[in-house]
Each structure stands twice: as C-alpha cells, then as structure tokens.
Structure 1
Amino acid sequence: MAKQMDYNTIREVFRRFHEADPEPKGELEHVNAYTLVVAVALSAQATDAGVNKATRSLFKVADTPEKMLELGEEGLVGHIKTIGLYRQKAKNVIKLSRILVDTYGGEVPNSRAALQSLPGVGRKTANVVLNMWWHYPAQAVDTHIFRVGNRTGIAPGKDVIAVERAIEDNVPADYQLHAHHWLILHGRYVCKARKPMCPNCIIRDICPYEEKTL
C-alpha cells in the first residue's frame, strides 16, 4: 500500500484523466434505470463484456420489472446461462423485480438504502446505479479501483469501504462524479494487476508505485 498521495498531485492525476477522457462511461449496456440495476447485479464475478453479450437479447424482451416477471425465472435463465452463478442471479433478479413492482410501483428507487434492500444489490451495485443514472458522486469500489487506489496512494485503504471513503475525502469535488469511472478504466486497461502498463501510463511521472514495469 502506497502512502497517501498529496492533494495537489491527486488534482493533477484527475486533470490528466479528464483531459484524456472528459466524459468516461461505464461499459455495461442498459436502456433505463431498471436494466442498469439488472446489468450491474449480473456483473458480479463476471466481465462487463460477458454480461453485455447476454443482456442484449434479454433487454429486448424484458426491459421493465413487469416484463421480467412475465418472462419468469426459467425464461431469464435461458438468456443468462453463459454468466457465472446464473441460477442465483436469476432468482435475485426475479425477486428484486417483484419488490420493485409491489413496493415502488415498478420504478427504481434513488436512495442507496432502498437499492441495497433489493436482493443481489450490494453497496457497490447501488453506488454504480446512483452514479450512472442519477449522476450522484457515489464511488463504486471494485477490484480495479481498490488496486489503483492503494498502488498509487490516491485512495489507500485496507478494505473497499476505506477506499470509498478515501476517494470521497481526497479527490477534488469537481472530479468526484467521474472519479470511479476514470479509476476503473485505468485499472482495467493500464494499471493492470499482474503486468501494469507503466510505459503507457499518463500519470507515470507522478505515480509513487515502486515496481514500475519496463
């Protein structure tokens, strides 16, 4: 774990991220708040690409909780069986769809607590939905962000909650909205777990990571 990066250096990191990609986007395909919740719930222990491949046909027939309930658990399984843990995920999607219909009139709630009360929706999923759909500066910490936050010292922490808090505390307010997308994309494509691509990194000269790859 690197020591905490100072504020001015963090600001420069995100200035460069912004300059390179002013409007970073999440890679999960969706058409509304409901399909975003479903896509993120399905993405646990799976790749975004794998989820997108499965949901392209699914969301053509079930893009609301009402339609998902009509499709049913077995019908849903037929669409998502290429995704890991598909049986449990199908059960959760049907359960959360029922709750959305019965409790929220078919609408997705915009509070973290309400989202986290849904089956299969944890804090990370709730934060993704709050950020991507309602543009709330919530920080969804996945393995990529956890690694980048600790490796660079931008947001060091021993667990995901600590890293989430560190991002909220350390990243300048004007970069908070897109912070988690920049960090995810940086971790996914540049600051990789096994072989970080340091020569191609736009923050290499200000990153304290000692084991920079050649």
Structure 2
Amino acid sequence: MVYNSIRAKMVQEILSRLEEVFPDRLELKFSSPLELLVAVILAAQSTDKKVNQLTEKLFKKYRSCQDYLKAPLEELERDISSINYYKNKAKFIKSACQQIMERFGGQVPDSMEALTSLPGIGRKSANIILYNAFGKNEGIAVDTHVLRVSQRLGLTREKKPEKIEQDLMKIVPREQWGKFSNLLVLLGRYICTAQKPKHQECPLYDLCPSREL
C-alpha cells in the first residue's frame, strides 16, 4: 500500500507536467463516435498519421453505418487498401456497422460491454472510444507507448497490457484515466521512444528511474 501511495503521488506530478507539454486528445482525427470507431479499427498495426491520410477522404464518402453497409465489401476494401490488413479491417467495419444498426439503433454504444461485443473492438479500443468520444472513464487504454512509458517510470512491474491497466487504475484517479492514457501516448511517441529516448527533452527526466538507461 505504501508503494501504491508513493506511485499515486508521482502520478499527479506526471499529469501536471505532461499537461503543460501535450494536449489531452488523440492524434486520430474524427468528428463523431462512428468516425472514431472506424479510425480505431484502421489504426491497428498502423500509424495515426497514415490513418488520418486515409480517413480524410473516407469520412467524406462514408458518413453513417448505412453508407458502410450499402457499399460492397470489395469497394470498401479498395477504399482502405493503403492500410495494413485492409481486408480484415473492411470486414470488421462492415460487421460492426451491421451490429450497431441491429442492436443499438444505429448509434455507437457507449458502454464497455457493448463496445467490446463489436468486431474489431477490444478493451483498449473501447477505452479509447469511451473517453474520447463520450467522455467516459471506464479504464486506461494501454497501447505500446503506455506500456513502455509506465514501465520505464516504475509505475508497474507487469508486462501484459491487461495487468498494467489494473496497476495503473489503482494509482491514477478515475476521472483522469483517459487523460493519463492520451498524455502517455504522446510522451511515448515523441520523447520516450522505444529506441534512443530523448532524455534531455523529457519533462519527467528527474522523476524517471530509467533515465540512465
């Protein structure tokens, strides 16, 4: 408990410093829950930059679940063929839209249970959608950046995303779960990189037990 108390105090300092450097938002571009859901599906094994380049045109053509369902699978595949695993992702998008129409009245659901029942949406993706589209904190999205940064900061000793999430949820106040994930993603993407982290640019340098690595 003492260990968690120390880490909880550290978390508040981390949040305070990162908020001065990064915005509390995704780099994925979207203007509706459906757009974010599609973008999140497309982002698996790809970069936000590449997804944004694709969706700039895609979201002008497909504005509703009906639009995705009307298009033949082969057409949607062509429209997203610049992205990795586009055939599987096209199937996920169409299946998710079908279920949204049949089970949720055409509206992207705003609960963890409902979102994770959709094809292509796991817990991490659901956390991203819930916070960034609906302002709900149901968990902490642990992607590769959050995993790496939280380990380097000594906030967790776990290696699996689901266990890391549980550790972080114990020390980050619930109302800050989504923000915490967004900020750590940006820190990991631009400063605390996997290779050659930019220690001298890091606002958390003096707090980080891994700074000499």
TM-score by length of structure 2 reads 0.92
In structure 1, the gaps of 5 or more residues are none
1:53 and 2:50 correspond: no
- How far is the alpha carbon of 1:175 from its aligned partner? 3.3
Between the aligned partners of 1:73 and 1:205, the Cα distance in structure 2 is 52
- How far is the alpha carbon of 1:55 from its aligned partner? 1.2
% same residue? 35
Aligned to 2:191: 190
Does the residue aligned with 2:197 lie in a helix, a strand or coil? Answer: coil
Does the residue aligned with 2:118 lie in a helix, a strand or coil? Answer: coil
Note closer, same or farther for the CA distance 1:156–1:72 as it changes in structure 2 (3 Å cut): farther
1:167 and 2:163 correspond: no
Between the aligned partners of 1:46 and 1:91, the Cα distance in structure 2 is 17
Note closer, same or farther for the CA distance 1:195–1:120 as it changes in structure 2 (3 Å cut): same
Q: Which amino acid aligns with 1:39?
A: A
1:31-65 Cα deviation digits (max 9, x unpaired) = 21111101101111010111111111111011211
Between the aligned partners of 2:161 and 2:167, the Cα distance in structure 1 is 10
In structure 2, the gaps of 5 or more residues are none
Corresponding pairs, count:
209
Aligned to 1:144: 145
- How far is the alpha carbon of 1:154 from its aligned partner? 2.4
TM-score by length of structure 1 reads 0.92
Q: Which amino acid aligns with 2:67?
A: K
- How far is the alpha carbon of 1:66 from its aligned partner? 0.6
Does the residue aligned with 2:20 lie in a helix, a strand or coil? Answer: helix
Q: How does 1:105-116 map to 2 (within 5 A)?
A: 105-116=105-116
Q: Which amino acid aligns with 1:80?
A: I
Aligned to 1:27: 27
- How far is the alpha carbon of 1:104 from its aligned partner? 1.2
Between the aligned partners of 2:166 and 2:201, the Cα distance in structure 1 is 28
Q: 1:24–1:181: 8 Å Cα contact kept in structure 2?
A: yes
Between the aligned partners of 1:69 and 1:175, the Cα distance in structure 2 is 36
Q: Which amino acid aligns with 1:59?
A: F
